[in-house]
Structure 1
Amino acid sequence: MRRFVSLIPITLLLLAGLSACGSKSSANQNKTLNVTLADEPATVDPNKDTDTNSASVIAQTMEGLYTYSKSNKIIPGVATKVVKPTNHGKTYTFTLKKTAKWANGQRVTAQDFVTSLRRMADPTTKAQYASVLSAFKNYNAVQHGKLAPSKLGITALSKTKLQIQLTKAVPYFNDLVASKYYPLNTAAVRKYGSKYGTNAARAMSNGPYKLVGWTGSNSTWRYVKNPHYWNAQNVKIHQIKMAVTKDSTTAANLFNAGKIQETTVSGEYVRANGNSKQLHTHLLGRMNLLYFNSKRQTTASENLRQAVSYAIDRNQLTNSVLKDGSKAALSAVPRGDQTNPQTGKDMASEVGNLLTYNVSTAKRYWHKYLKETGKTKVTLSILTDDSDDDKKVGTYLQSVLEKNLPGLTITLTQIPHAQHVSRDFAGNFDINLIGWSTNWLDASDYLDLAAKGNSVNFTNWNDQTYNQILTSAENQSGQARYNGLVKADKYLMRVKGYVPLYQPSEAKLISKQVGGLTYSLLNDAQYQYAYWK
């Protein structure tokens, strides 16, 4: 009896401890994570997104057949497994999880993927990045209105069986499946039509979080845990508050005040706080570059592109202006994007620096440009975002170009990202500072930016020789394909179809109270893996 009595306070203590742990865990689950985004998304329609901010929102709220693990490896998402293709790499047959559901509790079906990708290929949708479907059987005929979207190489064999047929094997296809081929709730698409994805109320999530409170134009919204997500039990943080914060000083101040737990900061902050354990920097799979409008007489000249390229000291731009770990571009292809299949060496390193700084060469091309245009003075506008980094880069370009190219006046047009994207597609610019982020590690994604017919070739530049080199490369495989891509890169840089500037680095402040946030060349952090420590 004495032994029994003596255990009572210990038992009560253990129960109290377990209760406290449970309360702490519950409190943490209900604790809101506060994070920032650099700019407003333009849409949350997976068929229509072309900008990184829209893609960021979609990645948190949607899930394709595959997804990415915490360590950024491809793993099954809606599909039951990562499948091996048949028919020489041209046929993929997927089985869907029966537990995969939309935020309204409905099953995600094979037809939802068919609805989405047929809609994306349909020319009436005007999906500006439909080219990610270019390897699908009948894609070109569908895009040009010669065949109905129902003829696209995607078929629902049953509610849980989906088959995709390609015209050729695609080495990076699994990344496309994970990052671009999202389903759409068929009923929601029928209900909202072309307005699908224009705000949170007109969209349906099937990923770990639901989008709440985004009106289509506001700068704050929330991600709320989707209780019907098949892996919901492993999503630890129930609510995330997003706020667009364009000024990195403001972002740093909010972080230091404990009001946000993850944000992006500038090079100045990195230089001043480089030893901070809460500061994390990583190179992005992205290239920031200049497009020149080939439809405008003043900006269509190769001599102008050459003059501008040679007049820019990219190392000065990255080391003295950005100061955040960004790297000067060597060619059209970023570091880490493509490797030589025989040697394993990085393509950017093997190709070498094709973008040298040489003021005398710049002036020689500039004088040729003035002579061919019959002018002695020229005023050109550079279009940029109104973000901190774009403002810095724009100001730097204005300074060095006016200094190194006598008679040139540069004006800066700095506008919100969504407006910038609209002007991109309208071709409303002289010179355009854009950034291109890839969804897969393959040089073709950057080289395609200058290809005829590419929907994001905002320059309208068209070089028959380049198109032939690139097409030939993409129709080959292995070492022959790699060699062809190298040839395309060298040609593109020789004629300056566009002018690469730098490969950005991203500096993140992450609260020591938060774990599970990881980054890579391809992917930003996925909040489904985050947790409170």
Structure 2
Amino acid sequence: MKNGILITMILLLGVVIAACGGSKGDKQQASTSETKQAIKVTSAGEIATLDSSLYSDTFSSDAIGQISEGLYRVNPDNEAELGIAKAEPTVSADKKVYTFQLRDDAKWSNGDPVTAADFVYAFQKVVNPKTASPSSNQLDVIKNANLIRNEKAEPSTLGVKAINDKTLEITLENPIPYLPKLLTGTPFLPQNEKFVTSTGSKYGTSADTVLSNGPFLLKDWSGIGTSWTYIKNKDYWDAKNVKLNKVSTQVAKDTGAGVNLYETGDVQYTALTDEFVQKYKSDKAYHSDSKSLIGYLGFNEDRASTGNVHLRKALSMAFDKEAYTNTILGDGSKPLNGYIPADFAKDPANNKDFRAENGDLVTFDPDKAKSEWATAKKELGVDKLTLEILSSDTEVSKKTVEFLQSEIQKNLPGLTIKLKSVPLKNRLALTTAGDYDIFYGTWSPDYSDPINFLEVYQSDGGLNFSKYKSKTYDAGLNAVKSTYATEPEKRWDEMLTLEKQLIQTDAVIAPFYQGATAYLLDPNVKGVQIYPFGRNISYRLAYVDK
């Protein structure tokens, strides 16, 4: 996400900004006047929550990531590096028990020290069924997490223990090769139990009801606002390397509005789409980066109509993906014919890319789509059908579903598509409640392993909005996480099989593009970190050079 969590393209859903140029050396950075270390940016949507146990969208994860830090953080090379942990952990002989020492100078913004108990509390909160965390299954690698999530054990039995204030012990169900990457994710951030308890159900609903232990403090956000501010956290353990004093964020759901703000000098960054990409492509402020984010249609399998696999297959093949990426996005995004994006993971046996190895699992094919539609109508006992696609109300989301509506109705005669666009917070609430036929969403992984995509559709997964249930699929996921945890080739082959079941056999979702982000960034703004997966952005190392 990441979600890691969960859920969206930078241009469609998220706050976007990117690195430009590079550092000119610590000496030159240090000489830059403090009064100039402030930037203004746009965001395509609002924050939904600042509670790391409840987020399920890119905006929230990005905001939480600016103000919070876990045992590990992500460095400029997109690798895990030490965060609140002051040294690499000691590991038991069976590679299941990890013991971390925490930094003595790690503090919360209220002055409390960050302790091992803060991690224990936060991890237990995520897996507690009462929390209903969308990301709870990401913790299944920790001992007893799955049992706790399924109410077969108490949260206190989770394999995480505070040996003392600064010593944290994590016990895994099985050895895993990607633990540091996993621990950079939003669900693995600490929380201050005393503060959370004091705020009750209001925790994370405004700037005043959350604490920071990361590079920035969040200000000027009431929970429903369209603007907020990040202020440098002078008590952050690594504050000496944080150059920006202030980042002001303004929501601009319309790309044109964001471009106007950039042109008038009111912001230093804004995202670009379709016609604006062509206009600014030769501008020195223009940038484009590929992502591991995917866009897809999700189907509600609890409904009779979209519960029909032939209808889902018909819908999946009924729209031209290449036309979409070229005419609606135009930002470097590419058609996607599988669930796992390209250039994301390599076969441990031959270094072959996952997407290339598993091939095209669902393509634009109007003839096959019509055939599946005919079968679906027969099984459903209907000649005509009306379905609704739910989306967020950003400009590009609206254009996306309008394109899909036109394509589907053209290629599947007798199928009427209605559209419903609402603010992201409402869209998430509706999908979580199962109050939809089809939804358009995006998903950005929290770390670079295919399991982070595949585990979303675990039967009891908190982000499994499709309500997909398959004992075979669940068993395969369990094998990937446990039986084959130390057998990389068997693990890889099982993940290839799982993707085919999800997309080709059961048509649980209809993936159709791999994202990219195009944007304008003032050439004087340097060092902004863009992630190809997980959270979208970090201002931790950014600075103004002029």
TM-based fold match above 0.5? yes
Deviation per CA, 1:367-398: give whole Å up to 9, x if none. Answer: 11111112111110000111122111101110
**After the TM superposition, which residues 173-252 of structure 1 pair with which residues of structure 2 at under 5 Å, given as runs?**
173-180=179-186, 181-252=188-259
Which one is further off, 305-314 or 462-471? 462-471
Distance verdict in 2 for CA 1:301–1:350, change over 3 Å: same
Counterpart contact for 2:528–2:540, Cα < 8 Å: no
Kept in 1, the 8 Å contact 2:215–2:242? The answer is: yes
1:142 pairs, out of 139, 143, 148, with: 148
User: Which of residues 52, 68, 76 is equivalent to 2:74?
Assistant: 68
Deviation beyond 4 Å, 4+ runs, structure 1: 21-24
Query: Is residue 532 of structure 1 aligned with residue 539 of structure 2?
Result: no
Paired-residue identity, %: 34
- Secondary structure of the residue aligned to 1:324 is coil
Residues 274, 330 of structure 2: 8 Å contact kept: yes
The answer on whether the counterparts of 2:137 and 2:146 sit within 8 Å (CA) in structure 1 is no
TM superposition shift of 1:87: 3.7
Deviation at 1:116, TM superposition (A): 1.0
Superposed CA RMSD: 1.6
Work out whether residues 96 and 175 of structure 2, in 8 Å CA contact, stay in contact via their aligned partners in 1: yes
Kindly state the Cα deviation for residue 88 of structure 1 after the two structures are TM-superposed. 2.9
- The equivalent of 2:498 in structure 1 is 488
Q: In the alignment, does 2:275 pair up with 1:268? A: yes
Residue 478 of structure 1 is aligned with which of 484, 488, 492? Answer: 488
Contact 1:125 1:194 in 2 (8 A): no
**Secondary structure at the residue paired with 1:400?**
helix
d(CA) in 2 for partners of 1:190, 1:26: 37
Q: Which amino acid aligns with 1:151?
A: T
Which of 28, 46, 65 is the aligned partner of 1:40? 46
Alpha-carbon displacement from aligned partner over 1:117-144 (angstroms, at most 9, x marks no partner): 1111211122121111111111122223
SS of alignment partner, residue 284 of structure 1: strand
Matches of 1:205 and 1:465 in 2, distance apart? 42
Distance in 2 separating the partners of 1:287 and 1:503 = 5
Question: Which residue in 2 is equivalent to 1:25?
Answer: 33
Shift of 1:259: 0.7
2:484 is aligned with 1:507: no
Give the alignment partner of residue 58 of structure 2, picking from 48, 52, 57: 52
3-state SS, counterpart of residue 285 of structure 1: strand
| Aligned position for 1:455 | 462
Separation of aligned partners in 2, 1:163 and 1:259: 48
Partner in structure 2 of residue 8 of structure 1: none
SS at match of 2:124: helix
Q: Distance in 2 between matches of 1:462 and 1:26?
A: 55
Residue 184 of structure 1: how far off its partner (Å)? 0.8
Aligned match of 2:20: none
Q: CA deviation at 1:243?
A: 1.2
- Cα deviations by residue, 1:232-262 (Å, 9 ceiling, x for unpaired): 1221111111111111111111111111112
Tell me, yes or no, if the aligned pair for 1:110 and 1:162 is still in contact at 8 Å.
Answer: yes
Identify unmatched segments of 5+ residues in structure 2.
Answer: 1-28
**Residue 102 (str. 1) matches residue 108 (str. 2):** yes
Cα gap change, 1:442/1:396 in structure 2, threshold over 3 Å: closer, same or farther? same
CA contact (8 A) 1:314 1:328 kept: yes
Higher mean displacement: 147-156 or 79-88: 79-88
Can you list the C-alpha shifts for 1:186-206, whole angstroms capped at 9, x where unaligned? 220121123211111110000
2:266 paired residue number? 259
Kindly state the Cα deviation for residue 24 of structure 1 after the two structures are TM-superposed. 5.8
Report Cα offsets for 1:387-430 as digits up to 9, x if no partner. Answer: 12211110111001000001011010011101000001000100
The alpha carbon displacement at 1:22 in A equals 9.3
1:16 corresponds to which residue?
none
Tell me if 1:517 matches 2:524: no
Q: 1:99 to 1:478 in 2, by over 3 A?
A: same
**Structure with the greater relative contact order (CA < 8 A, sep ≥ 6): 1 or 2?**
2
2:302 pairs with 1:290: no
Partner Cα distance (2:223, 2:171) in 1: 35
Tell me the alpha carbon deviations over residues 287-341 of structure 1, each in whole angstroms, 9 at most, x when there is no partner: 1111111111121101101111121221111122211111111211111222101
Letter in 1 for 2:515: P
* 1:133 matched residue in structure 2: 139
Q: Distance in 2 between matches of 1:89 and 1:408?
A: 54
Unaligned 5+ segments in structure 1 are: 1-20
Preserved contact between residue 58 and residue 536 of structure 2 (Cα < 8 Å): no
TM-score by structure 2 length? 0.91
1:242-391 correspondence to structure 2 within 5 Å: 242-391=249-398
Structure 1 residue 208: Cα displacement: 0.7
**Counterpart contact for 2:405–2:418, Cα < 8 Å:** yes
Aligned AA for 2:50? V
Q: Give secondary structure in 2 for the equivalent of 1:229.
A: coil
Contact 1:384/1:420, CA 8 A, preserved across alignment: yes
Query: d(CA) in 1 for partners of 2:112 and 2:79?
Result: 28
Compared with structure 1, are the counterparts of its residues 497 and 525 closer, same or farther at alpha carbon in structure 2 (3 Å cutoff)? closer
SS in 2 for 1:255: helix
* Counterpart amino acid of residue 451 in structure 2: S
d(CA) in 2 for partners of 1:121, 1:498? 26
What does 1:71-82 correspond to in 2, within 5 Å? 71-82=77-88
CA pair 245-87 structure 1, distance change in 2 beyond 3 A: farther
State the secondary structure of the residue aligned to 1:89.
coil
CA distance in 2, matches of 1:480, 1:435: 29
1:466-492 deviations in Å (ceiling 9; x for gaps): 333333333313011001101111222
Answer whether contact 1:75 1:82 (CA < 8 A) is retained. no
